[in-house]
Structures are given as structure tokens and as C-alpha cells.
Chains A and B, each alone.
Chain A
Amino acid sequence: MTETTFVEAIAKTLAIAMREDERVIVLGEDVAEGGPYLATAGLSEEFGRERVRNTPISEGAVCGVAIGAAQSGYKPVVEIMFIDFITLALDQLVNQAAKAHFMSGGQLSMPLVLRTQGGAGQRNGAQHSQSLEAWLTHVPGLKVVMPSNAADAAGLLQAAISDPNPVVFVENKSLYFRREDLPDPPPPVPIGQAHTLRPGKDVTIIALSRMVGDALEAADRLASDGGIEAEVIDPRTLVPLDLDTLAQSVKRTGRAVIAHEAVNAGGFGAELAAQLQAAAFDYLEAPIQRVGAPFTPVPVSPPLEDAYRPGAREIEAAVRVALEWGEYDAEPWEHGSIATSRTTP
């Protein structure tokens, strides 16, 4: 074990991959300078600026270049500095990368990794703080991974680089600089495998990315403050989804809370809830609760952003709603919940 951070784990994993395989190249704005969060620090010094290529601010073309290189035998890792700017690369990602293998009848493969990061909390405002991963999960042909800690980031990045399909690797800027222990070398983590971080019998909390830490915090509080045993699961991969692990847990606990930082409306939590209710309807003791951001852009002003950003407190409240469901002699629509009240567009 060595102490490290999420971004150090990313940089280290990229370096290992580049050492092992000359076809791995890194492209993106400022990547040869290490990038604003140092996720590519040291790479250009070790591998040169031919394999670690700074690009102009041309997200569409840069994503396209990575796609062209991937279908020509290379393994590019392209960085879109903020997920907010993925809008500019979506044509290439959605219309070219996701469909190349399919449309060519299997002739082309697309060993492409697109790294990007989202999330609020740094007062960056509405164009540098979003969580847009749900858009990507809507596109057949893309894989979407969202690690919540340094070890998973290192392991999933290895798997993503080895994968013959386009993998969008969504990081969260709030996770970047926490100190964490990392096995040396970090073992690979298979894409499509959820991780149960805490066992529990009363309720299942399914949390994504930064919200995993918040879910564990909420679970600690629920345990010490009333003896509620929450199971916390991190899907780690959104596409393909490890529905079995999630559904088995929900069948045992009968209650589920889904937590992500993205806006609730149209968020990946909606898809999770739909798949879980189809898989475990007869076992559910309460409606599946969702915790996410309200239907507004991300504000800058600190108290407003803090209020906007869902966290452990909201997860804890949603768990209590799920647990209390049916205790009162009232019609279901009179219960309300923090999740639904925050969702309404």
C-alpha cells in the first residue's frame, strides 16, 4: 500500500499503460503540461510530446482524431478537461465512436478511452460543474465508468485502456486530492462489476462517484443513531450495469435509495430505479428513493452551491423516508419525500 491521491493514481496508471504498450497515446488540451488537475503530470517528460500531445481547444476534432487513431490500431486516451465541454465532442463520440464497430459489421474496433471530470463544489458555476453522465448511458456502443476512489480509478482505467470499445471515464473533481491507500501495483478492476462497500440488512444505498463517500457517511450516522444497517453499493460502471448485485441486495433489504450528484430529472438514477423495480418489484417495501440535484443550473455563490449539492444529509433523509414508508395511516401521496420534492422540474 502506498498513500496516493485519485489524480496521482490516474497519472500513474497512464504511465504504466504507456510503458507496456507503445500504442497508448494521450491527447487533450494541456495534457503535456499535466493539465489543470495534474492528472497527466510527468507523462510528456517520460514519453515525449509525440505520444502525449497537447491539442488546440477543438474538442470535436480532438475526439475525432482519437477515434481515427483507435480504429487504426492505436489506444488513445483523450481528455476532455470538463465534462461540460463534452457537448462539443458528442457528435464524434455518439455518431462515430459508439457506432463504428456496429455499422462496419464488426470490421472496426474502437479501443478508445475518453477521460473527463464533472461535479460541483468548487464555485466554478454552471458551465464547469455539471454531471452529464446520463446522456452517455443513453448511447448503445459506449461504456461508461464512474470510479469513486483512487484504487477503483486505477483499476478501471487499466481495464478501459484494454477494452476494444469506447469507454467514457467520468471522474469527479471533488475526489481528486483526498489521500487514499493504493495497492502497488493497483490491480485491474473489471468493467461491469459493482462493489459492495458496506453490508447491511435494512436498506440498500446505491451511490455513484462522489456520492459513495457521502453514502458511507450517511450509513455510519444511521447506524450509530438508531441502529439502521444500510448496505452501500457502488455500481462503478453505469454501462454495462451489474444489475444482479444491485437487485440481490434490494431483494434482501426491500428498500433502495439511489444517490448521484447529477440533476434528478432524467438522471441515471431514473434508469436504475426502473431496472430495479422490474427486477425486484415483489420485494420492495417502499418506493425507490432518489437523491440528486434540483432542476436548476449549478450556482456559484457558496451558500447557494452548498444548498444545491446533494450529500450525506439528503441520503440520510431519503433512507428515513424509505424506512418509514407505510408506518402511518395516510395515503401514499401524502408522504412526499426529499427526493421527489427536489425532482420536480
Chain B
Amino acid sequence: MDKDVAQALLRTMWRIRLFEERVGQLKRSLQVHGLIHLSIGGEGVATAVCGQLRDDDAVYSGHRAHGHAIAKGAPIDRMMAELMGRESGICHGLGGSMHLVDIEHGFMGATGVVGGNLPLALGTALTQHLNGTDQVTVVFFGDGAVQAGHFSESVNLAALWKLPVIFVCENNGMAEFTSREEHSTIERVSDVVAPYGFERTTVNGSDVPAVYDAFEQFLTKARSGAGPYLLECVTYRRRGHYEGDPEKYRDPVAEQEWAERDPLARMRARAIDEAWIDEASIEAIERDAAAEIEEAVRFARDSPFPDPQTTAALVYAQ
């Protein structure tokens, strides 16, 4: 892996990790609002995928969306302000954690309805196809979305119309509180789509270079207008389904096991081993990320809440 790429990936992963840990804290003191779903343990997928996209490529995400938005380029300060319900938020406080949108960076939207983002991604990919550009659309979803009707309908339609869309499934083995084997007899999501005949693969989502390489292969082909593709990344959800989830449905994972699965710890160790970066530079990345997050919290706290009149004014576009 190119050194610059590896360093950029580490920087993004740290920014996501520290943003989410801070958001978890702020949720406990009720300074961020609403249902909060953290992607800690899954940062590698967001980073390796979005790190290869341009601003004019489209990304759709679901309810666990902070990492995807940050990796796609959404400004952290305005994201923090959004989660804290402020006027300076990226959606002026009207979207919140589950409905982030940043069209400037091609982050077309997160949705709180599991699977509801899949057909939207096809619609954007259809416009890319009709425009004849080399833009692509990526849609992130979890294994829980695979059992939703929208998934089957969308996969069929994407295959039928050969749309330049890359389905990226973060299979953390849990659909909310329930393990995958209670929801489906098919373990691998890449097997679910086998009959449609398009290319698909499953990788270890904690192995960031592996995700990077697998996605790069699909991306190169999708840039030429081909598609669809499905990349299944087996990940680990470190936190509960949402912040505050009592997690009675599973045993705590031993620290040793977490250390083996933690994509950030793994990438850090790999980067040192491969001499992609030195220890001092990694520490600088961590420090910079931490400072950026604290600055974002300050920015959000200093921002006013939105004027209630904005609510009625934004129901319809003029």
C-alpha cells in the first residue's frame, strides 16, 4: 500500500473513532440528541471505501452513518453541530444523526429506515448511467437490511439495468439485538445475491488494506459504467445497537478478542510493520484528530439552536 494512502486512511479512522467516542459521551450527558448508533469497530470499511471516491461520486448510508459521512468528507464541526441540534449543523439541526446529508461532498443521505436507502442509490446510479459519466454510487447497509423487501427489489433492478452501483454490506452479524442466524438461513450476504450473476466478494472488514483492494477492483470497473457489484465486509459492532442499549442479548467480548478485531489497532500495527508510518507520526495524527474533535464540540456549543420558523419554511422547496 502506498504510504500516503495508508496515512490518509489512519487519519480518517482516527477522526471517526474519536468523533464517535466523543458523541457517545455527549449522549450520556444529553448534549447530543435522539437515537445514536455508533460504528466503532467498523471504521475501516467506511474509510477504505470512501477514501477512494471523489466528491462527485454518491454515497448513501443507513442509521449508523457518522463514519461514512466523515470518510466522504463531511466537515466534523458541522456534523457535531447537527447531532447537537444547532443551526450551524450540516442540515441546520433538522436531520440529526440518522439523516445526515452533505451534497457538497456527495454524501447523498443517511436514512433511519433499514434498507430504505438501497433504491435511492439506484436512482442516483441511473442518472450517472444516463449522463454517461464515470461517476459511481456506493450504498452502505448492514446485514439486517438484506432481509428487507427493498434489498431484493433493488438488487434485481440494479442487475437488470446494469447500474454503476456498488453495494457495500457491513455484516456485523447483528440485526439490532438479534444475531444473523435468527433472521436468515444464509450466512454470507454475498451468497444471497449469487443468482443475479454480478461480481461479489466477502472480505474481513477489520483488515483495512483487504477492504481497500477489494473495493478498488470493483470501483475501477464501475468507473467504466459497469455494475452492479457487492462487497461484503465482515465487521464487528463494538457498541450496542444504539447508545444506551443494555445489551442483555450478548456477552461482553474479551479485550483480547476486541484487540484482534479492532480495525484501527490492526491498521496501526500493520502500518508500523510495513514502515508506512512511524510512531511519532501516528501520535501526531491522534493528537490532531483529538484537537479537531474538541474544536468541533466548541463550535457546536457556541452555535445557537435554529429559529423555530425554519421548521415551516423548509417543508417545501420554493
Contacts and interface: CB of A to CB of B under 8 A. Distances in A.
B276 to A, nearest CB: 36
Interface stretch (A56-64, A220-228, A296-304, A326-334): A56-64
Contacts of A40: none
B99 A103 contact: yes
B90 A68 contact: no
B157 interface: yes
B230 to A, nearest CB: 16
B118 interface: yes
Most buried by B among A53, A74, A96, A107: A107
Interface string A65-77: 1111111111010
Looking at chain B, what size class is its interface with the partner chain?
35 or more
Contact of A69 (B109, B127, B315): B127
B119 interface: yes
A46 interface: no
B149 interface: yes
Q: Is the interface of A mostly helix, strand, loop or mixed?
A: mixed
B123 A72 contact: yes
Interface string B107-148: 011011100101111111111101000000000000000000
A108 B318 contact: no
B113 A95 contact: yes
A345 interface: no
A106 B89 CA distance: 12
A13 interface: no
Contact of A165 (B123, B127, B157, B316): B316
A55 B157 contact: yes
A117 interface: no
Interface string A82-122: 00000000011001100111111111111000000000000
Contacts of A109: 317
B119 A64 contact: yes
Interface in B265-318: 314-318
B95 interface: yes
B150 A60 contact: yes
B123 A100 contact: no
Given A69-B123, A69-B126, A102-B315, A61 B116 contact: no
B94 interface: yes
B15 to A, nearest CB: 22
Contacts of B112: 95
A101 B101 CA distance: 10
Given A72-B127, A103-B91, A96 B120 contact: yes
Given A64-B119, A72-B108, A96-B111, A106 B156 contact: no
Interface of A: 25, 50-51, 53, 55-56, 58, 60-74, 76, 91-92, 95-96, 99-110, 140-141, 143, 164-165
Given A92-B116, A96-B116, 12 more contacts: A53-B161, A56-B160, A58-B156, A61-B118, A61-B154, A70-B123, A71-B108, A72-B123, A95-B113, A96-B113, A101-B314, A106-B317
